[in-house]
Amino acid sequence: MPRAIWTGAISFGLVNVPVKLYSAISQKTVRFNQLHERDGVRIQLKRICPADGEEVPFEHVVKGYEIAPGEYVVVSKDELEALEPPKTKTIEIEEFIDGTEIDPIYYDRSYYVLPDRMGQKPYRLLVAAMEASGKVAIGRVTIRSKEQLVAIRPSAGMLTMATMNYADEVVPPDDLEDRPAEDVKTAQRERDMARQLVESLAGDFEPDKFHDTYRERVLELVAQKAEGKEVSLAPAAERAPAPDLMAALEASVEAAKRDRKPAGGRKRGAKKEAAAPRRPRSGAGR
């Protein structure tokens, strides 16, 4: 059962809503430990000073900000703590805005915002008000000594919160070298075919349809090796050179039409989902 990572209150105007935060994301990355090839023992990583080759105890490690190659300004733990934002237990709402104004590039990590035992009624009122207005709340909260810009929105009768990137953290498109050329001409027939391809692939978003197939293949490989099975690896298939653009569009449209779901049934050619094989845990430390 997930545990709350933060307890406090949402504050807007003179209203306080006691809430708890729960992480909405559980990463499923496959992690490996580094082992000695010869004996299979896990490798230890040590902090070595390149000046004398000696191991440096953790208590003698300090933080330094590089201002020039090989030149650092040392900042102490006490100095950094003095600059930390106040350790408040409040999500301070600064304004309510139209959610369509926020480019998804600003979103970072997602959380569920659930009511504390004493905050059920004001929480329900806040959800109802935000659903009726279609607004998203923008505010600030301090989590683990770091002040975060956040967006809070209603979803399925509850609130979710996303930490946000600040404007100066988002790379401006004008800074990119390979921006799309503005003088490239496209024919009307090509645009029509491209639109037809998009429409032929249109559908409702069903998150369960999408899987991390690479992670699944890695876990299957680990499971087979753990059971002592001999594993044969097929070489990765190479894609054939792409034909001209129009031929590629036409072939893609035809393929999409063949793979469309028939009315009242599964996608043509789709197989029933097989029982998942036994797999080892993927949460081992690196």
Q: pLDDT, tens digit, for every residue of 223-238? A: 988 988 888 877 766 7
Give the CATH number for residue 131. 2.40.290.10
Q: Give the distance, in angstroms, between the CA of residue 165 and the centroid of all CA atoms in the same chain.
A: 13
Q: Which amino acid is at 139?
A: G
Q: To 5 degrees, how large is the angle CA 252–CA 191–CA 260?
A: 30
Please give the structure tokens belonging to residue 242. 């792409």
Residue pLDDT, tens place only, 149-181: 999 999 999 999 999 999 999 999 888 888 888
Residue pLDDT, tens place only, 255-275: 888 876 554 444 444 444 444
Structure confidence at residue 242 (pLDDT)? 63
Residue 48 domain flag = no
- Averaged confidence pLDDT in the chain: 85
Band of residue 51 on the pLDDT scale cut at 50, 70, 90 = very high
DSSP letter (8 states) at residue 100: G
Q: Which domain holds residue 11?
A: 6-26+84-169
Structure confidence at residue 160 (pLDDT)? 97
Overall domain count for the chain:
1
Structure confidence at residue 144 (pLDDT)? 81
The answer to pTM > 0.75 is no
Residue 120 domain flag = yes
What backbone torsions phi and psi does residue 89 show, to the nearest 5 degrees? -115, 40
Residue 53 domain flag = no
d(Cα 286, Cα 156) in Å, to the nearest integer? 36
Helix axes 188-200, 245-259, angle to 10 degrees: 20
d(Cα 46, Cα 58) in Å, to the nearest integer? 10
